[in-house]
A = this chain, B = another copy of it.
């Protein structure tokens, strides 16, 4: 089923309004999810609507959080998310962070008592618009063993950054710190197909290509012990330092319906103009992008990309041609819509207004 992005946003927005989220907050959640679909990151898009709604209905997520500053200094913020949706909490954290970074030049922002925040790219874009280099990280429920171990301890803790450019699109990296997102292994298990070696280990810590054994075991960090070190850092900054859960003390989004997730995030903003005039910086970054893209490519490689470039191309295509939803995702949305009295068919084939 194909949706114009605006129609999909309206549908998702209307669902969240029904389950008690304010208009502004519903739009933020819908916009962030559809933004992920537009960039081709469907695992973090509207496929999450049913589980978000379930957690809200079960009381595990607070629909109207009082997001507030728990502690602050000139260049730091600790934000208490009051168990709200990660998208709402993170929007407020970034808003407060941008204001502070404009005054002090840079800010480190810890967030406690939050929930799954979707794709980090959404937040770093907010900083990039202000000519700030921006980082977004989050911890997540445990699915990844420490290096050398066999029992999941860390999440696939995402790491995202955004870097403004001049005449080119900003450089945006948004990645899991596992070799691949766990969702790909779930899909393989559902299809009964194998996975490539190097993605996961089984319960005894042996490399496995059996997708079910991988799900019972542990995903592997990207880049071996180095990726383990980066995932650990994200959990320390997002969880240990902020007072949120860390390691296995974060509640599962798909389960633990009686408890808030207690996820933590970490954001950083630094104002480019405090280092050099943004105009000069942008000439330099454009030069770098041009140089990277003009280095010779390996056999079989058509084009060298900077991070985010492929996603930007996908976004252009999907803005023009709409977003294709898998049958399964579509049915899930239709069902949750029905439960909320929001008929998905009313949003299909509606002419795009803009």
Contacts and interface: CB of A to CB of B under 8 A. Distances in A.
Nearest to A291: B247
Contact of A108 (B106, B150, B242, B298): B106
Interface residues of A, number: 79
Interface string A252-292: 00000000000000001011101110000100110010011
A119 to B, nearest CB: 15
Given A149-B297, A292-B247, A298-B206, A163 B74 contact: no
A242 B268 CA distance: 18
Interface in A96-119: 101, 103-108, 110
A240 to B, nearest CB: 5
A299 interface: yes
28 contacts: A73-B106, A73-B271, A76-B105, A76-B274, A78-B276, A106-B107, A108-B268, A108-B270, A133-B241, A146-B295, A146-B304, A146-B306, A148-B301, A148-B303, A151-B295, A153-B292, A173-B232, A175-B226, A205-B298, A205-B299, A222-B223, A222-B224, A222-B226, A235-B288, A236-B288, A240-B288, A241-B275, A268-B268
A67 interface: no
B75 A105 contact: yes
A33 interface: no
Interface in A66-80: 71-76, 78
